[in-house]
C-alpha cells in the first residue's frame, strides 16, 4: 500500500486521469483513467458553417467552440486548414465564435478536410474531416488507387479512386515487371518475389495526363507476402464494397493520446500469431513514414521527429486491416 498527497491545479479539466508509478522491482505501472477530476470543462470545437464548398471558391466560414477562450489569449486565436486551404483573414466574434475568409485551391482533392484553432489559453483544437470539398470545381487531372492484400489467397486488390474513374478516358498500367495493360481493370500475375512499382497513367477528356505509382510485393522490412509469386487484380471503387472479402477489418484499433506531441500508443485486440501484424504510418499526402511489425497488442511509437499534422495508422494482419487517424502537434 502506498499513500500520496496530491494537489489538483485549479485549471485542471474535468475528466479521468491516469496514475503512474515506477519502482526498481516492478518497473513502470499505471492505472489508466482511474482518477476522476471534477474541474473545468474541456474546450473543444463544435461546428463550422458552412461546412461544404467547391474547389476554387473564396468564402466566409464561422467556427464555433464550447468552453473556449478565443479572445482572451495573447496572441488571440488563429485558424488553419489542412490541404492547402488558405486563410485570408479572420475575425474573433466572441470567446466561442471566430469567422475566417478562406480560399480553396482549384486542384484540391474532393473529400473532408480538418480545421484547427489554436490559442494560448486552450491550446490546439481540431474538427477532423469537418469541412467537405465537393467535386463541382475540381478541374485537375488526378490518378490514384489504394492497395489491399488478401493473405489467404495471396492476392493484391488495387482499388481505383472514384475521381480517377470519373475523369479517365484512357488507362495505362505499368506493372513494374516489364508488362503493361491498357485495360481499366486488368488482372496480372507476378512470377517472382520482388517489390514491383505498379503505376497507373490516365488521360482525361481535356487531354491532361497524370500518373500514380505504388510498390507492392514486399513490405519495407523485407517480408515476402508469398514464396512463389502472387496475383493482382484491379477494381473500381463504387462507394461501398470493392469486391474484397467482407471480413477484412481488425476488430478494434485505438491510438492515444490524440492529439499527441512525442509518443503515441497503438492498441489492437488482434491476436498476435507467427504472422505478426504490420503497422504502417502515412501522412496526409499518402507517403509512407514508418512501417514495422507489431510484437504485442500495445505498441508505443516515437513521433518526436515528425512534422505537425494529421497521420493515418494502418494495421494489417492475417488478411484483415483497419486504420485510424491521429494528430501530431
Q: Is the pLDDT of residue 243 over 70?
A: no
Instruction: Specify the CATH number for the domain of residue 86.
Output: 2.60.40.10
Judge whether residue 282 has pLDDT over 50.
yes
128 with 150, same domain: the answer is: no
- What whole-number distance in Å separates Cα of residue 310 and Cα of residue 283? 7
Domain tally, the chain: 3
Residues 167, 126 share a domain: no
Average pLDDT over residues 271-284: 67
Q: Widest CA span of the chain, in angstroms?
A: 75
In a domain, 122, yes or no: yes
Place of cell 480517377: 164
130 and 152 assigned to the same domain: no
String of DSSP letters for 158-205: EEE-HHHHHHEEEEEEE-SSS-EE--SS-EEEE-SSS-EEEEEEEEET
Cis peptide before 318 (omega within 30 of 0): no
Residue 265's alpha-carbon distances to 113, 174, 261, 303, 310, in angstroms, are: 24, 38, 12, 10, 15
Same domain? For 228 and 259 the reply is: no
Q: Burial letters for 85-109: b for 16+ Cβ neighbours within 10 Å, e otherwise?
A: beeeebebeebbbbebebebbeebb
- Contacts of 14 by beta carbon, 8 Å cutoff, 6+ apart: 37, 38, 39, 40, 41, 42
Same-domain pairing of 263 and 219 = no
| 6-15, 73-82, 266-275, 311-320: which is most confident | 73-82
Q: Which three cell numbers stand for residue 313?
A: 495508422
What range does the domain containing 199 cover? Answer: 145-236
Strand 155-160 relative to strand 145-150: parallel, antiparallel, unpaired?
antiparallel
Q: How much is the pLDDT for 321?
A: 62
The DSSP H or E segment spanning 329 is none
State how far the Cα of 180 lies from the Cα of 188, in Å rounded to an integer: 9
Rounded Cα gap, residues 312 and 290, in angstroms? 11
- 314: its cell numbers: 494502418
Q: Return the CATH number at 263.
A: 2.60.40.3580
- Supply the DSSP string of 68-97, one letter for each residue: --TTTSSS--EEEESTT-EEEEEEEEETTE
Taking Cα atoms as reference points, which of 182, 137, 198 lies closest to residue 163? 137
Instruction: Examine residue 36 and state whether it is found in any structural domain, yes or no.
Output: no
200: left (phi over 0), alpha (psi -120 to 50) or beta: beta
As given in the structure block, the three cell numbers for residue 248 are: 477484412
Tell me if 5 is assigned to some domain: no
Q: Tell me which of 37-46, 54-63, 240-249 is least confident.
A: 240-249
Pairing mode of beta strands 86-94, 44-49: unpaired
pLDDT tens per residue, range 182-207: 998 888 888 877 788 889 998 887 78
Residues 229, 153, single domain; the answer is: yes
pLDDT at 248 (0 to 100): 37
pLDDT band for position 212 (cuts 50, 70, 90): confident
Q: Write down the pLDDT at residue 318.
A: 62
Co-location of 166 and 124 in the same domain: no
Domain boundary among 202, 236, 270: 236
Task: Output the pLDDT for position 69.
Answer: 87
Amino acid at each position: 500500500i502506498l499513500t500520496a498527497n496530491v494537489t489538483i491545479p485549479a485549471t485542471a479539466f474535468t475528466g479521468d486521469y491516469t496514475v503512474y508509478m515506477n519502482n526498481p522491482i516492478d518497473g513502470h505501472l499505471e492505472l489508466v483513467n482511474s482518477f476522476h477530476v471534477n474541474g473545468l470543462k474541456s474546450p473543444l470545437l463544435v461546428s463550422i458553417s458552412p461546412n461544404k464548398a467547391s474547389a476554387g471558391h473564396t468564402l466566409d466560414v464561422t467556427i464555433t467552440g464550447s468552453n473556449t477562450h478565443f479572445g482572451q489569449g495573447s496572441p488571440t486565436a488563429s485558424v488553419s486548414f489542412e490541404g492547402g486551404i488558405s486563410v485570408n483573414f479572420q475575425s474573433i466574434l466572441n470567446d466561442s465564435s471566430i469567422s475566417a475568409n478562406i480560399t480553396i485551391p482549384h486542384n484540391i482533392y474532393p473529400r473532408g478536410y480538418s480545421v484547427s484553432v489554436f490559442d494560448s489559453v486552450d491550446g490546439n483544437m481540431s474538427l477532423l474531416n469537418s469541412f467537405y470539398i465537393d467535386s463541382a470545381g475540381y478541374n485537375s487531372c488526378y490518378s490514384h488507387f489504394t492497395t489491399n492484400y488478401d493473405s489467404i489467397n495471396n492476392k493484391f486488390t488495387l482499388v481505383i479512386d472514384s475521381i480517377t474513374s470519373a475523369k479517365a478516358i484512357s488507362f495505362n498500367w505499368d506493372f513494374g515487371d516489364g508488362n503493361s495493360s491498357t485495360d481499366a481493370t486488368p488482372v496480372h500475375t507476378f512470377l517472382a518475389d520482388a517489390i514491383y512499382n505498379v503505376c497507373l497513367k490516365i488521360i482525361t477528356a481535356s487531354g491532361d495526363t497524370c500518373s500514380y505509382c505504388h510498390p507492392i510485393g514486399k513490405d519495407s522490412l523485407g517480408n515476402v507476402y508469398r514464396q512463389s509469386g502472387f496475383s493482382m487484380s484491379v477494381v473500381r471503387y463504387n462507394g461501398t464494397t470493392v469486391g474484397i472479402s467482407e471480413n477484412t477489418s481488425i476488430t478494434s484499433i485505438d491510438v492515444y493520446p490524440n492529439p499527441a506531441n512525442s509518443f503515441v500508443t497503438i492498441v489492437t485486440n488482434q491476436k498476435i500469431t507467427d504472422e505478426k501484424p504490420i503497422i504502417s504510418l502515412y501522412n496526409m499526402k499518402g507517403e509512407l513514414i514508418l512501417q514495422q511489425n507489431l510484437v504485442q497488442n500495445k505498441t508505443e511509437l516515437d513521433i518526436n521527429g515528425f512534422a505537425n499534422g494529421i497521420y493515418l495508422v494502418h494495421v494489417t494482419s492475417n488478411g484483415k486491416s483497419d486504420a485510424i487517424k491521429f494528430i501530431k502537434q
